[in-house]
Amino acid sequence: MSDQQKPWGDDSEFDAEKAWTLIQNLRGDVDRLKADKTALAQERDDAVKARDESTKTVEELQATVQLTDDAVKSKESELSELATIRAKENLLIDAGLPRKYAPQVVGDDEEAWKNAVQSLAELRGETPQERRLDPAQAADPAEPSADAVAKQFFGL
């Protein structure tokens, strides 16, 4: 301390009261800085904890979104398969063939399915135009029904 000058100057100018006030002020500053340090450390810890919780929540939400996306893709696939089967069954029904032949209808598009259904119908010995119509659907609507003729005849 010999190289540095003392804050009060010369030893003869030393004021004990002034030195004591300076020491008290410095101790107060140290206490305030320690309290600030503790408060800042607590804020930092709270922020880190909140960040970690947010990260965990984001990860959980991302997992939920992934599961939901997987479920949607699965349902879309099931819907596509059902629509394909339904289209094949409708083509079979239109050709007068049982729906159970749907697995034998092959191809990637409706045109290929129509060709497969036509081939199945030819194996059966029928073409779609040769199939028998349901008598109820083939009846002429202008002709009176058998019930109407019977009621008229018996006067009912």
Structural contact between residues 8 and 19, judged by C-beta atoms closer than 8 angstroms: yes
At residue 130 the predicted structure's pLDDT band, cuts being 50, 70 and 90, is low
The string of pLDDT tens digits covering residues 29-79 is 999 999 999 999 999 999 999 999 999 999 999 999 999 999 999 999 999
Structural contact between residues 101 and 93, judged by C-beta atoms closer than 8 angstroms: no
Please tell me which residue, 11 or 78, carries the higher pLDDT value. Answer: 78
Look at phi and psi of residue 56 and say left if phi exceeds 0, alpha if psi is from -120 to 50, else beta.
Answer: alpha
Structural contact between residues 113 and 87, judged by C-beta atoms closer than 8 angstroms: yes
In degrees and rounded to multiples of 5, residue 7 shows phi and psi of: -60, -25
Calculate the average pLDDT of the chain: 85
| Torsional sign, CA 25, 27, 32, 37 | positive
pLDDT of residue 48: 96
pLDDT of residue 133: 61
Structural contact between residues 109 and 102, judged by C-beta atoms closer than 8 angstroms: no
Span 87-110, average pLDDT = 90
Whether 112 has a pLDDT exceeding 50, the answer reads: yes
Whether 108 has a pLDDT exceeding 80, the answer reads: yes
At residue 1 the predicted structure's pLDDT band, cuts being 50, 70 and 90, is very low
In sequence order, what DSSP letters do the residues of 18-65 get, joined into one string? HHHHHHHHHHHHHHHHHHHHHHHHHHHHHHHHHHHHHHHHHHHHHHHH
Q: Which of 121, 77, 115 is nearest to 101 (CA)?
A: 121
